[in-house]
Amino acid sequence: MTPTLLFLGTSDSKGVPRLGCECALCQSVRPSARDFRTRASLLLQATEGTILIDTPPEVRLRLAAEHRPAPDALFMTHPHDDHILGFSDVVRSARTMQRPLPIFAPAEVFTGLRDRFGYLWESPTWSQEAELTVLEGAIEVAGWRLEAIRVHHGRNGWAYGYLMERSGWRAGYFSDALHVSDEVLGRWQGLDLLILGANFWKEEAPLETRSVYDVQEAITVAQGASVRQLILTHLSHKIEYATISPLLPSWASLAWDGRLIQISPIERTNPDEADGTNSTSSPDALYP
What is the reported pTM?
Answer: 0.92
pLDDT of residue 84: 98
- Spell out, as residue ranges, where the chain has pLDDT lower than 50: 269-277, 279-288
Alpha carbon distance 270, 197 (integer Å): 31
Condensed to tens digits (0 to 9), the pLDDT of residues 16-52 reads 999 999 999 999 999 999 999 999 999 999 999 999 9
pLDDT of residue 268: 52
Domains of the chain with CATH codes: 4-262 (3.60.15.10)
